[in-house]
Amino acid sequence: MMSGRRLLAFLVASIIVTVAIALVLPQVLGIYYLHVVDVMLINVILALGLNMVLGFGGQISLAQSAFFGLGAYAFAIMQAHGWPAPVAAIGAVAFSGILGALLGWPVLRLRGHYLALATLAFALIVSELMVNLDMLTGGANGMMQIEGVGLAGNNQPMLYVLLAVTLVAFAGSVIFAYSPMGLRVRAFRDDLIAAQAVGLNVKAMKIGLFVASAVYGGAAGVCYCWLQGYISPDVFGWQTTFSYLSMVVVGGLGSSVGAVIGAALYTLVPEWLRFLQEAYFVMFGAVVIIVIALVPGGLAGLGARLFKRLTRARSTDARSLSEQEA
């Protein structure tokens, strides 16, 4: 268990890293790559949210693309109706969160494959509605000229905004995992019956986890509006939900750092593999399969194990020395 002091140190380190990124990246990256990093940060927020319900809570959810879309459309529509940007942003995140609760409630009794299918159905419904509610959503064309915070297409200032939002999202995830609430969620994930037997309110927890993932998804949607200035339904299509799933699984289920690593690789590796053209998806798919098959615990788990091995190697050395002396 992380001690309070270590948590604080970890958060301070995260802030320092974020500030360093904010200072260095605009100096070394061109406008195109700054955009890639901006998209990456949005993916990080989505992955962090999915990790809440799937990684911490052990509840499979394929609804992340839906919450992403709900947040984006809610913001665009609210702003189009004359709400000021901050109010529309809060409203959009709240709307997404409420729908998270509405999804969490009926699927309370579902687990495993059934839960996966129910949440996928939710993603399908939302993606159909985005196309077919033309009056509100602009149908297949989506919505243009979203004012956002006036930074659409402005990749460098958006980097600062997105870094700030991502930092808050990351800190929220880390603090949650460390808090007694995070401990309860682990109990719920480890053994449902044992958790109930010690009086943990598992229903509230499950709904809460869906709300948390929806809030993160909604926030990512709002950020997407700000970054692009336009939205279209294909970005939030139900097929994209599997991207977020692979980010979290490859990064390492149940690890905030893992969600960051997974989302970062998922966004950046395609850029590096661009020269492969069509063959790129084959390569990328192969990488995902290799990580899932060979690295249980994902990349974050791999890192943690390496670290442990290094520290343990040192302590065993110390012991064998003292044994020799004795």
The residue ranges that bind other proteins (CB under 8 A) are 1, 4, 175, 178-181, 183-184, 186-187, 189-191, 193-202, 316
Nearest distance from C-beta of residue 305 to other proteins, angstroms: 12
Which C-beta is closer to other proteins: that of 49 or that of 254?
Answer: 254
Q: How far is CA 137 from the centre of its chain?
A: 25
Which C-beta is closer to other proteins: that of 89 or that of 195?
Answer: 195
Which C-beta is closer to other proteins: that of 195 or that of 247?
Answer: 195
| Cβ–Cβ < 8 Å for 216, 46 | yes
Nearest distance from C-beta of residue 128 to other proteins, angstroms: 36
Which C-beta is closer to other proteins: that of 187 or that of 269?
Answer: 187
Which C-beta is closer to other proteins: that of 196 or that of 243?
Answer: 196
Which C-beta is closer to other proteins: that of 68 or that of 178?
Answer: 178
Beta bridge partners of 139: none
Nearest distance from C-beta of residue 89 to other proteins, angstroms: 24
Torsion of CA 110, 116, 121, 124, to 10 degrees: 160
DSSP 231: B
Which C-beta is closer to other proteins: that of 239 or that of 320?
Answer: 320
Q: What is the CA radius of gyration of the chain?
A: 21
Nearest distance from C-beta of residue 185 to other proteins, angstroms: 10
Nearest distance from C-beta of residue 198 to other proteins, angstroms: 5
Nearest distance from C-beta of residue 326 to other proteins, angstroms: 17
**HSE-up of 244 (CA within 13 Å, CB side)?**
37
Which C-beta is closer to other proteins: that of 24 or that of 204?
Answer: 204
Nearest distance from C-beta of residue 178 to other proteins, angstroms: 8
Nearest distance from C-beta of residue 1 to other proteins, angstroms: 6
